[in-house]
Structure 1
Amino acid sequence: MSKYNYLNVAKMPERSFLPAELAQTLPFSSDSAVKVFQLDPSSILAQESAKTFQICQEGIHKDGTTELNGEAAACATSLEALQSLVRSPMLLGPHDAANVKALSTDERLHSGSSFRGKVVKVSLEASVEQRHAVCHNLMYPSAVYFCHYLQRTRVYTVMLQPLDAAGAQQRHLVRAIAMCHMDTTGWNPRHLAFQNLLTLPGHGEACHWVLQGSMTFVPTA
């Protein structure tokens, strides 16, 4: 029996994608976010939007890779752009675009929520040999996702049995997506994972929940 704490940050607010035409027309930058969406420059949203722009524009090289082991990555500012990323071989390699499974964690397990329960079932969704990608929901006035191809990782669906404050089992199971990084050799020694696990790069795998709001894509054929 375990208690799962989904980070001590506020739940991501619900935001919609911009229409593709508008997303392509509007400049995507921290300055434009302040001007177009009339944000207070000192607001948390303006500051987080600047971080999102930094991730999408400065963290991704012109060839579509990041500094993290050269993994492929891209940001999507419209639903059409997200669909194109999932269908293209850039993230998932050569695959049948009609056969891709989308995995997500139950909306009750969001950032900042505290969940008490026990694991009742674990299913492997993607092995180290299977190419898969995850798209993270970033803070911006409209929906923006940072998607990247993950190397040397495994993806699991974990079914959890909720427990109330008295320890009694709740009826409906909760689904959570978990990811295990099997090779941490190239990670920063100061990474939070090593602080929590009291270990070093290359010494064992690092597993974490894929929080509600993020999506994992796995080819099924």
Structure 2
Amino acid sequence: MKLSLLPLVAFLTIAHAANLPPPELYWKSRLPTTAMPKSITDLLHSAGGDTTVHRKYDYGDDSAASFLKYGGGVFIIYDEPETQLQHNPFASLLFLEKDLGFGHTKNLIFTKTSNQASFLPRQVVKSIPFSSTKVDEILRTFSVKPGSTEAEMMKKTIKACEGSGIKGEEKYCALSLESMVDFITSKLGRLVEALSTEVILKNETKRQEYRIMHGVKKVGDANLVVCHKLSYVYAVFYCHKMETTRAYTVPLQGEDGSKVNAMAICHTDTSGWSPKHLAFQVLKVKPGSVPVCHFLAQGTVLWVPRQTPN
């Protein structure tokens, strides 16, 4: 589906004529030694090319929609009725850190997010309002019908970005690739790695049993940032720096031979979480008793300081 950006065409043309640098050049200037993951390169949009944003939404199972529905992510979910567990897309992603070893299995499905909205250059984004007080103007700008499913999701995204973070969380909504890079470098410096869950070999798109293979590696400890892509008409990422966390890369192999290099986050202190938190219902543990972990969906970016050889 194509969304016309007629009010922005003139600006994009001027930006191209003025030779404003594309977002990927800003990345290279600020993070010259950091490889760009596929989850980012897939979202690049050149101001000098097509003046439409290509998007596809499927709000029924979109992880970004679920992210907002449940308050910002699996680690921010507080109360979830047991009758709703089977419908919660995050439930299958949860596991205990003690099970993060060779041979353990988990029933999972890895599908690419249906939200394909791409990045716009920061200069363009700055010219567009992003505020709950200007929703009507935003919807008119992007020709979105008020009251539609899409309009409601846009409103939820804005609200999530304007809300305060939870205890121990430093949050920031990046409306452009450039602003994401600035947030990351302000928190972690410029010697960082950007990682994301990647399907290396896929035979079929189906839920199946995945086995943890040899090669699980801890890549971050406390000092890390996770950026989740939200549903919007252009790429918006909810980034947050959390305390008491560990990050791992986890090689998985499906029963049909599919292979995934998955990213996982473990929360080492859950003592402040609600006893009705989804994680405790799924894993049958109590707050503060053991580290709680979850895999990151495709499209989510994990940022960690680059590890240097001893």
TM-score above 0.5: yes
Partner of 1:78: 176
Amino acid at match of 1:114: R
1:43–1:108 CA distance, 2 compared to 1 (3 A): farther
Q: Distance in 1 between matches of 2:298 and 2:109?
A: 9
Following superposition of structure 1 onto structure 2, how do residues 158-197 of structure 1 map, counting pairs within 5 Å? 158-164=250-256, 170=257, 173-197=259-283
Partner of 2:45: none
Following superposition of structure 1 onto structure 2, how do residues 1-221 of structure 1 map, counting pairs within 5 Å? 2-6=105-109, 11-29=113-131, 31=135, 32-57=137-162, 59-60=163-164, 66=165, 68-89=166-187, 92=188, 95=189, 97=190, 99-107=191-199, 114-121=207-214, 122-128=216-222, 131-164=223-256, 170=257, 173-220=259-306
1:115–1:83 CA distance, 2 compared to 1 (3 A): farther
| Structure 2 SS opposite 1:141 | coil
User: How far apart are residue 108 of structure 1 and its match?
Assistant: 7.7
CA deviations on 1:40-78 (whole Å, 9 max, x unpaired) are 223222111111111111x23xxxxx2x21421111111
Q: Distance in 1 between matches of 2:266 and 2:240?
A: 15
Q: Distance in 2 between matches of 1:5 and 1:43?
A: 31
CA contact (8 A) 1:6 1:211 kept: no
Amino acid at match of 2:224: H
Q: Distance in 1 between matches of 2:296 and 2:147?
A: 30
Indicate the percent of aligned positions where both proteins have the same amino acid: 38
RMSD: 2.4
User: How far apart are residue 162 of structure 1 and its match?
Assistant: 2.2
User: How far apart are residue 6 of structure 1 and its match?
Assistant: 4.6
Q: Distance in 1 between matches of 2:289 and 2:147?
A: 42
CA contact (8 A) 1:106 1:174 kept: yes
Q: Distance in 1 between matches of 2:239 and 2:129?
A: 20
- The answer for unaligned runs of 5 or more in structure 1 is 61-65, 165-169
Q: Distance in 1 between matches of 2:153 and 2:265?
A: 25
1:87–1:176 CA distance, 2 compared to 1 (3 A): same
Please state which structure has a larger fraction of its residues in strand: 1
Q: Distance in 1 between matches of 2:245 and 2:206?
A: 26
Runs of 4 or more, structure 1, over 4 Å off, are none
CA contact (8 A) 1:33 1:49 kept: no
User: How far apart are residue 188 of structure 1 and its match?
Assistant: 1.9
Q: Distance in 2 between matches of 1:188 and 1:125?
A: 28
Please state which structure has a larger fraction of its residues in helix: 2
CA deviations on 1:56-110 (whole Å, 9 max, x unpaired) are 11x23xxxxx2x2142111111111111111113xx3xx3x0x20011001589x
CA deviations on 1:165-196 (whole Å, 9 max, x unpaired) are xxxxx2x6320001110100111222111111
CA deviations on 1:119-157 (whole Å, 9 max, x unpaired) are 1031111124xx110001011111000101011011000
Amino acid at match of 2:287: P
CA contact (8 A) 1:73 1:146 kept: yes
Amino acid at match of 2:182: S
Q: Distance in 1 between matches of 2:266 and 2:206?
A: 21
Larger Rg over CA atoms: 2
Amino acid at match of 1:198: K
